Amino acid sequence: MSSDHQFEAFTFDGQQDTTNFGLDTSAPFPLALRPANGWNPTLEDSIQAIRRLSESGKIFEDVRIHGGAVLIRGLPIRTPQDYSEVAHAFGFLPHEEVGRPPLRTVLAPNVKTANEGPPELPIWPHSEYGWSTINPSWLTFSCLDLPDSGGETPVISSLGLAAALKQRAPEFVEKLLQKGVKYVYRYGLEDVKSNTGTSVIGAYGQHVKPGDDKETTRRKIEEEVRRHSNRFQWHEDGSLSVTHIVPIIRIHNDTGLTTWFGNLTSAWGRSTYHGATEFPYRGDDGSYHPPPEYGDGTPIEKEYLDLALALAESLQVLVKWELGDIVLLDNYAVMHSRSPWTGKRTVLAALWNDPHPRISDYPPSTRSVLDASPEARL
């Protein structure tokens, strides 16, 4: 399927079929597009083409049909500013990050480094800000420098993971539905070169000024924290723990399907990788990586954590970057991760909001989603 006469669809190794995720129609996931008929677009051509697709709604219909993701290849994106201008053409509202765990550097309007953690460290499947009540609806990524090896960005269907877990561990899905998930993020005084290494100031210090005293600094930080959590604790060493209890089994409004929106798989992958599965959950990298729990504070069974991560990784499709690629993801239908690499890799991220609600919670009276039709769930 092509989104526009100027683009044609192409296939690449590893794409999956959307019927595996519970969608009604068969289509490759993700959709992959490139300039058609020898078209060699300039940057302005690219911006105008994306804007037309966005304003017509065509690109978003195609994204829905193809499971929530599109790779657009062959555009002349070479700088952060180029990427910013193309990404803004989708017409989204920039997302404001609250409680940002990874290190990121702003390079152009609403464009930041994706994650500044060491290249040898993987990042496991996750929804962007799936642990928070403040989360972006859409994500875009672009690659400006290609690594010597590795560095792929796996994309994973959250709809597919929810469907697979319903089949393999329905009792786990029910417990998650009823209890939600508890995440704890601990922020230290200094930035740490890890994949969750930002400091207290980096995460919540947007309004802190150099001359602020300790009391003023804490007050400003706590005001930011309370935007998405009233559960937080200061520690004697000056670090800050923030707890979030949020649903993970949710309704994807565009399809009516059950989706998995959260960071359980990435949190568990990180905890095990860094040897931080036991209290006080401080890993070999100096950061804290407490494993997720059920929302009532009870431990999640290890076999379920292992199963969820294994299923997510079995669903992943590797996006092997080419220079100038741009990827659009529906954050509520698609998770992403990151493969280790060698050489220089520059992948930039932009987080976006949508004025329309695109994800919903199951009502409190819901007892089971396993056999309910989309109509009944909505």
Per the structure, the count of domains in the chain is 2
Q: According to the model, what pLDDT value does residue 102 have?
A: 65
Q: How confident is the model at residue 104 (pLDDT cuts 50, 70, 90)?
A: confident
2 in any annotated domain: no
- Stretch 88-95: mean pLDDT: 97
Res 257 pLDDT > 90: yes
Q: According to the model, what pLDDT value does residue 287 have?
A: 77
15 lies in the same domain as 144 = yes
Q: How confident is the model at residue 375 (pLDDT cuts 50, 70, 90)?
A: very low
14 in any annotated domain: yes
191 in any annotated domain: yes
176 lies in the same domain as 243 = yes
281 lies in the same domain as 174 = yes
53 in any annotated domain: yes
Highest mean pLDDT among 181-185, 285-289, 332-336: 332-336
Q: According to the model, what pLDDT value does residue 288 have?
A: 77
217 lies in the same domain as 286 = yes
The pTM for the full model equals 0.92
153 lies in the same domain as 166 = no
Q: According to the model, what pLDDT value does residue 172 have?
A: 98
Which one of 288, 309, 330 terminates a domain? 309
Q: According to the model, what pLDDT value does residue 369 have?
A: 57
Specify the range with the lowest mean pLDDT, choosing from 25-29, 340-344, 347-351, 362-366.
362-366
59 lies in the same domain as 138 = yes
207 lies in the same domain as 80 = no
350 in any annotated domain: yes
- Stretch 91-100: mean pLDDT: 93
Range of the domain at 295: 162-309
Res 225 pLDDT > 50: yes
302 lies in the same domain as 167 = yes
Which one of 309, 326, 343 terminates a domain? 309
1 in any annotated domain: no
Query: What are 277-328's pLDDT values in tens digits?
Result: 888 888 988 777 889 999 999 999 999 999 999 999 999 999 999 999 999 9
118 lies in the same domain as 244 = no
167 lies in the same domain as 300 = yes
Which one of 265, 283, 309 terminates a domain? 309
151 lies in the same domain as 24 = yes
CA distances in angstroms from 65 to 22, 100, 171, 310, 315, listed in the order given: 11, 31, 29, 25, 17
166 lies in the same domain as 137 = no
The domain that holds 43 is classified in CATH as 3.60.130.10
- Stretch 326-341: mean pLDDT: 97
260 in any annotated domain: yes
Specify the range with the lowest mean pLDDT, choosing from 336-340, 355-359, 374-378.
374-378
